[in-house]
Amino acid sequence: MQNEVVSREEWLEARRALLAKEKEATRLRDSVNAARLALPWVRVDKDYVFETPEGRKSLADLFDGRSQLLIYHFMLGPDWDAGCTGCSFLSDHVDGALPHLNHHDVTWVAVSRAPLDKIAAYKQRMGWKFPWVSSFGSDFNFDYHVSFSPEDLAKDKVFYNFTPMQPADANDELPGLSAFYRNDKGEIFHTYSSYARGPEELIGTLMILDRAPKGRNEDSTMNFVRRHDEYEEAPKAPSCCH
């Protein structure tokens, strides 16, 4: 299906109308960002331990000397054979941002419940460099509502994205992003979490596709996405010479 074809003058008029909406969306995003920064914080008093390539580490250790920590809740369960496709799609965008984040006092770490050897194997397959640790045996994923036990899924409701939901709509692992702050006293605070499509803006490919003629061209949310080593050769555009 092709959009209406008009004169350049008509296109400019339509484009200016869209520009007004784009500016409105930018101002709204600025407002949302300001509200996010103004959220109250919750002190983290529970001790969490993570398995890392350098040995067992606490939540404080994951900050790696910085005051801000972003944890991506990567869907890779203890008995999973591979990481979630959507989480993998987002994670393809992280390595290039790491130097900028680290030099702006922010540490990025992915956390999954899979054992460390399984994480290491999948990380090597994908060719990623960002830190990725295991919370296996810890309450961390359950406390931040991204992992659900069989007992949880047998209940009438599970709590995800700040809302009770039907277990049939859940999974043993779900995605999310959580932010933490560590002050000079060593106190840690949970400042923010986002789930479901909340972290979508971190996926630069989607932001680029939104500006392409066909947009995301999807039948359902990200149904076109594959792990980056699973794509078949992309079909070539038809040529007038053939």
Residue 236 reports pLDDT greater than 60: no
Quickly state the pLDDT bin for 38 (edges 50, 70, 90). very high
Q: What is the mean pLDDT of residues 79-100?
A: 97
pLDDT at residue number 168: 83
Each residue of 105-117: pLDDT tens digit?
999 999 999 999 9
Exposure class string for 22-59: b at 16+ Cβ within 10 A, else e:
eeeeeeeeeeeeeeeeeeeeeebeeebebbbeeeebeb
* Higher pLDDT among residues 123 and 241, named by residue: 123
Q: What is the mean pLDDT of residues 76-91?
A: 96
Exposure class string for 98-136: b at 16+ Cβ within 10 A, else e:
eeebeeeebbbbbbbbbbbebbeebbeeeebebbbbbbb
Residue 240 reports pLDDT greater than 60: no
Each residue of 209-222: pLDDT tens digit?
999 999 999 989 99
Strand segments, DSSP code E, in 1-142 are 42-43, 49-52, 55-58, 68-73, 106-112, 132-134
Q: Model's pTM, two decimal places?
A: 0.92
Each residue of 126-162: pLDDT tens digit?
999 999 999 999 999 999 999 999 999 999 999 999 9
pLDDT at residue number 242: 37
| Contact assessment for residue 99 and residue 107, using Cβ atoms and an 8 Å cutoff | no
Each residue of 190-204: pLDDT tens digit?
999 999 999 999 999
